[in-house]
Amino acid sequence: MAYIYYNPNNRNRSDRGDCVIRAISKITKQSWDKTYWELCGQGYLMGEFGDSNDVWDAYLRGYGFKRRVIPNTCPDCYTVRDFCEDHPYGEYILATGNHTVAVSFGDYYDSWDSGSEIPIYYYSK
């Protein structure tokens, strides 16, 4: 389990609130640009911004992902790192209250070390 720097934003911007785009592009193996435009299109169809929870939920369901809630047994102590240790196989998109991170085979990919964030739910195939 390790943090791996990942920023596919071709303008090398990581402080612009594009964590949803970064995480989805990593797990779907798409470019940042393709993911961005597809989320914009989904948002347009739904009359919302491309990074709103409803939009990227519909987008991921369209790709065959299912959303699962993380049990609330320790709501303030179960971290992204803990999730990675518990999920050494497979690929996931984790959502916290205000951030999204990609997890692939026990490693988490982000533009900053978000390992101490508290995930609420996740997507997987």
Write the pLDDT tens digit of every residue in 44-85: 999 998 889 999 999 999 999 999 999 888 877 899 999 999
The verdict on residue 6 lying in a domain is no
- What's this model's pTM, rounded to 2 decimal places? 0.92
Number of domains in the chain: 1
Q: What is the predicted pLDDT for the residue at 23?
A: 97
In a domain, 10, yes or no: no
Neighbouring C-beta atoms of residue 60, cutoff 10 Å: 21
- Closest by CA position to 92, among listed 31, 1, 16, 9: 1
User: What pLDDT score does 73 carry?
Assistant: 81
Encode pLDDT of 8-21 as tens digits.
987 766 566 899 99
Residues spanned by the domain of 107: 17-124
Phi, psi of 118 (to 5 degrees): -100, 110
Residue 50 maps to which CATH number? 3.90.70
